[in-house]
Amino acid sequence: MLVKIRCNNKIIQNIHIKIFSSNLRYLNKEKKKKRGDNVVTLHKMATNIKRELSVDLDLDEFTLDFFPFFRVCKDGHVDRYILTMEEKPGIDPITGVQTKDIVISNDPAITGRIFLPKMDDTGDDTGDPKSKKGLQLFVHFHGGSFCTGSAFSPITKEFLTQLVSRAQVIAITVNFRLAPEYPLPIAYDDCWAAFKWVASHANGNGSEPWLNEYVDFNRVFVGGESSGANLAHDVAIRASVEPIGEGLKLIGLLAIQPYFTTRENIRLIQYLYPSSRELDNEPKLNPNIDPRSCKLVCDKVLICVAENDRFKERGLTYYYSLKSRWEGNVELVDTLGEGHCFHLLNAKSPNIEHLMAKLVSFIKKDD
């Protein structure tokens, strides 16, 4: 995967992610030992990166480091290790799926991207599809530990293009504001605002024509991967207990390798969510203690975990919690031999096809 790397505020483009493999292995090895001085570890890592990239990393410029996500400089600037590349919208030449970028809100600034599957009939010489009411809608929230990722990234576009094409569903992915520049719970509020914006189209008079013309708002799904699954759960909960208007029915929730708070990642979340004092007791981060979970209005939930995912245990706890407290249908899929978000990060995995087929089946069962 090609990414952009920032070193001393300079962007180095088209560097392959494999350059960090030796450093990631080193850090994983260090984590198994007693945690020592993080700066010492980073100096060793910087030596490897300097040798591999022929660039310098001045580790005295920053005060806090949350590798592999970001570091905080002394002047308050947030310096991300990997800057997400963005891919332009258009028509996918293989599937025929059309994409376009949308403005959900100007204040606050929330944007997104909408995906429309190829349809057999065309309405005019431009090739625009005829009005075809009745497609399901999937509202997607991307992962990235609340602090990285984008609705416009190549991996998000590839994943949703395949899902939209195979399930014949319209999808919207939300580009919410990222922490730490916009601390949690801002991402939660952005995603809820985006979902309410979607719901405003249920009467056919919203601002986005594709939603007005093609969506059956009685067949809506929400979902995401990693922290995006966390955000999707929160949206589903709020849609169950807060007013959202008439005309929208939430059918299902897709939680793909969900990322909830664990003791292992609590330092990062403490920094991203400064207003929450007891993170393990924060319902947004740990829905297993949320009494509202039993009030979910959707019919079904699909929870996907992976054997080698370090967040798997929380996904399983989430599954058993819903099974015991909620009357809806909860389904669990466990992919053997894979890690966190393998379907996005390992394009050659033979297990992607099975996971995609399960996601498509979960959506299409509503047909």
Distance CA 127, CA 4 (A): 36
Q: What is the CATH number of domain 98-364?
A: 3.40.50.1820
Task: Please report the pLDDT score of residue 226 as a whole number.
Answer: 97
pLDDT tens for 156-170 read: 999 999 999 999 999
Q: Which residues of 308-330 are buried (b: 16+ CB within 10 A; e: fewer)?
A: ebebbebbeebbebbeeeeeeeb
Task: Please report the pLDDT score of residue 60 as a whole number.
Answer: 55
Higher-pLDDT residue of 245, 138:
138
What's the token pair of residue 5? 């790397």
Contact (CB, 8 A) for 69 and 85: no
Instruction: Give backbone dihedrals phi and psi of 238, rounded to 5 degrees, phi first.
Output: -65, -35
Helix (H, G, I), strand (E, B) or coil at 112: strand
Task: Please report the pLDDT score of residue 84 as a whole number.
Answer: 85
List the domain boundaries for the chain.
2-83, 98-364
Question: Which of 275, 325, 338, 272 is CA-nearest to residue 296?
Answer: 325
Query: Can you tell me the mean pLDDT for 45-65?
Result: 54
What's the token pair of residue 363? 């959506």
Q: Which residue has the tokens 């590349």?
A: 85
Kindly state the DSSP code that residue 5 receives in the 8-state scheme. E
pLDDT band at 5 (very low <50, low <70, confident <90, very high): very low
Query: Can you tell me the mean pLDDT for 66-88?
Result: 90
Q: Which residue has the tokens 């995401």?
A: 224
pLDDT band at 51 (very low <50, low <70, confident <90, very high): very low
**Secondary structure of the chain: what % helix, strand, coil (to 5)?**
35, 25, 40
Distance (Å) of CA 165 to CA 84, 168, 179, 249, 364: 24, 5, 32, 23, 12
Query: Can you tell me the mean pLDDT for 260-276?
Result: 82
**% of the chain residues with pLDDT over 90:** 67
pLDDT band at 180 (very low <50, low <70, confident <90, very high): very high
Question: Which of 161, 113, 135, 324 is CA-nearest to residue 218?
Answer: 135
pTM above 0.85, yes or no: no
Burial class (CB in 10 A: 0-12, 13-18, 19+), 100: middle
pLDDT tens for 293-349 read: 999 999 999 999 999 999 999 999 999 999 999 999 999 999 999 999 999 999 899
Query: Can you tell me the mean pLDDT for 268-284?
Result: 85
Q: How many residues does the chain have?
A: 367
The catalytic residues are 226, 309, 340
Cis preceding-peptide flag for 183 (omega within 30 of 0): no
Distance CA 140, CA 33 (A): 37
Question: Which of 239, 246, 242, 253 is CA-nearest to residue 319?
Answer: 253
For helices 21-32 and 38-53, give the axis angle rounded to 10 degrees: 160
Higher-pLDDT residue of 208, 31:
208
Task: Please report the pLDDT score of residue 78 as a whole number.
Answer: 92
Spatial strand order of the sheet with 78-80 comes to 62-66, 70-73, 78-80
Contact (CB, 8 A) for 146 and 183: no
Contact (CB, 8 A) for 114 and 170: yes
Higher-pLDDT residue of 22, 127:
127
Distance CA 93, CA 91 (A): 6
pLDDT tens for 84-103 read: 899 999 999 999 999 999 99
pLDDT at 116 over 80: yes
Distance CA 359, CA 353 (A): 10
